[in-house]
Amino acid sequence: MPAKKHPKIESRAQNFARALQQVFGRGFGPGFWLAVVWLLIVAFCALFADWLPVRDPLDPVIANRLNGPFTSNLLGADGLGRDIFARLIHGARVSVVIGLTAVSIGMLIGGALGIIAGYFRGHFERALMAVLDVILAFPWLVLLLALVAFIGQSLFAISVAIGFLWIPAYARVARANTLSVVQREYVLAAKAMGASTSRILIKEVLPNVILPVLAYGLVAMGLVIIVESALAFLGLSVEAPQPTWGGMISEGKRHLATAVHVAVIPSVTMFLTVLSLNFVGDRLRSRFDVKESNL
């Protein structure tokens, strides 16, 4: 008995439009889109900071010292008379680079370990989880300080150090998702078909694990930015005079009594960015979860 055909054949374009709508169209609300727009602006600034028509972030103009917003400088100037707006834009680069690199390192290594542990189980899984638990139990700041002291204070070194800290979290997320995917019968069906283990991992497991891991990555990126600012506060982030948001807040604290804006403006920028990352990551994650359970 043939199944009833679909009443109308949809064109590829319609199909695509509907798929887009399913992922992004309904239920996200304006807040989600505002967050996305903010993140796009931050990413744009980070990419094109050198070409944007802003002042030199490193040029101290003594006359402008601690000027408030909308005076000589759009968002005021800091204790050395440097333009805060320009420094924010150039500082975005550090936040974005550290965020992306650290998250990628964590995601690649942690994700791969998690998938392997979840798929093969056994001794490897037990050993890995034990090691990860030890790392998680270690005070992260101490570990980070040790790592930075060991590999140095360059942008890359700091990214690697923070990324290392994130491996356990990603491994856990990837492992949990892999465990649930492996129980699905399509994995069994692929085995029955003669699929090799690598094919099963790449074609069946990975596509189902990667989306929740990516969504988690956005949330993690927000935390990475905060971790960077904590390092900056301790003077262990990227070395001066390179502007970073964390460094700017740290410098601003000296002027809190006289010129609040020096610390507040980078704080608000960072707050909005982290909030946006969490918001977008969370919404995407719940969307993927719903899709799983809806199936």
Partner 1 sequence: MRQSEHKESNASLLQVSNLSIRLNSAAGLVHAVEDVSFTLKAGQTLGIVGESGSGKSVMARSLMNLLPRRAVAQRKGSVLLSGREISTLSERELQRLRGPDIAMIFQDPMTALNPVLTICVQVSEPLQQHLGMSKQAARARAIELLDAVGIPDAVNRIDQYPHQLSGGMRQRVVIAIALTCNPSLLIADEPTTALDVTVQRQILDLLTGLQKERHMGMLLITHDLGVVASRADFIAVMYAGRLVEVAPANTIFKSMQHPYTEALFNSIPRINDASHTRLQAIPGRPPQLHNPAPGCAFAPRCPYAQQRCHRETPPVVQAEQAEHLHACFYPVSAPVALGGVR
Partner 2 sequence: MTNTSEQATPLQLRNRDDIVLRLEHLVVNFKVGKQTVQAVSDVSLDVALGETLGLVGESGCGKSTVGRAIMQLPPPSAGRVLFKGQDLSNMSGEALRQTRTGLQMIFQDPISSLNPRRKVRDIVAEGLQIWRRPNQDARVREVMEAVGLDPDTVADRRPHQFSGGQCQRICIARSLALDPDVLICDEPVSALDVSVQAQILNLLEDMKQRYQLTMVFVAHNLAVVKNVSDRVAVMYLGKLCEIGNAEAIYARPAHPYTRALLASIPDMDPDARGQQGKIPLLQGELPSPANPPSGCRFRTRCPNAQARCAEVEPVMQAVADSMTPDHFVACHYPL
Chain contacts with partner 2 (rule: CB under 8 A): 1-3, 5-6, 9-10, 12, 15, 184-186, 188-196, 199, 203-204, 207-208, 291-292, 294-295
> Is 5 or 12 the residue whose CB approaches partner 1 more closely?
5
Of partner 2, partner 1, none, which one does residue 10 interact with (CB within 5 to 8 Å by kind)?
A: partner 2
Q: Report the C-alpha gap between 226 and 246 in whole angstroms.
A: 8
> Is 1 or 192 the residue whose CB approaches partner 1 more closely?
1
Q: Least distance to partner 1 from the beta carbon of 4, Å?
A: 4
Q: Least distance to partner 2 from the beta carbon of 9, Å?
A: 5
| Cβ atoms of residues 245 and 225 within 8 Å | yes
Q: Least distance to partner 1 from the beta carbon of 212, Å?
A: 20
Q: Which amino acid is at 65?
A: R
Distance between start and end Cα atoms, the chain = 25
| Cβ atoms of residues 162 and 228 within 8 Å | yes
Q: Least distance to partner 1 from the beta carbon of 26, Å?
A: 6
| Cβ atoms of residues 216 and 166 within 8 Å | no
| Cβ atoms of residues 49 and 99 within 8 Å | no
Is the Cα dihedral 152, 153, 154, 160 positive or negative?
Answer: positive
Of partner 2, partner 1, none, which one does residue 291 interact with (CB within 5 to 8 Å by kind)?
A: partner 2
Contact positions toward partner 1, by CB under 8 A? 1, 3-4, 26-27
Q: Least distance to partner 1 from the beta carbon of 2, Å?
A: 8
> Is 66 or 292 the residue whose CB approaches partner 1 more closely?
292
* Contact partners, residue 256, CB within 8 Å, separation at least 6: 263
Which H or E run includes 21? none
Structure-block tokens of residue 264: 């507040």
Neighbouring C-alpha atoms within 13 Å toward the C-beta of 113: 24
Of partner 1, partner 2, none, which one does residue 204 interact with (CB within 5 to 8 Å by kind)?
A: partner 2
> Is 18 or 254 the residue whose CB approaches partner 2 more closely?
18
Q: How far is CA 295 from CA 187, 283, 290, in A?
A: 16, 18, 9
> Is 143 or 176 the residue whose CB approaches partner 2 more closely?
176
Q: Least distance to partner 2 from the beta carbon of 129, Å?
A: 18
> Is 10 or 59 the residue whose CB approaches partner 2 more closely?
10
Of partner 1, partner 2, none, which one does residue 26 interact with (CB within 5 to 8 Å by kind)?
A: partner 1
The β-bridge partners of 83 are 77
> Is 199 or 253 the residue whose CB approaches partner 2 more closely?
199
Of partner 2, partner 1, none, which one does residue 186 interact with (CB within 5 to 8 Å by kind)?
A: partner 2
List b or e across 43-66, with b for residues whose CB sees 16 or more CB atoms inside 10 angstroms: eebbeebeeeebbebeebbeebbe
Q: Identify the three-state secondary structure at position 2.
A: coil
Of partner 2, partner 1, none, which one does residue 27 interact with (CB within 5 to 8 Å by kind)?
A: partner 1
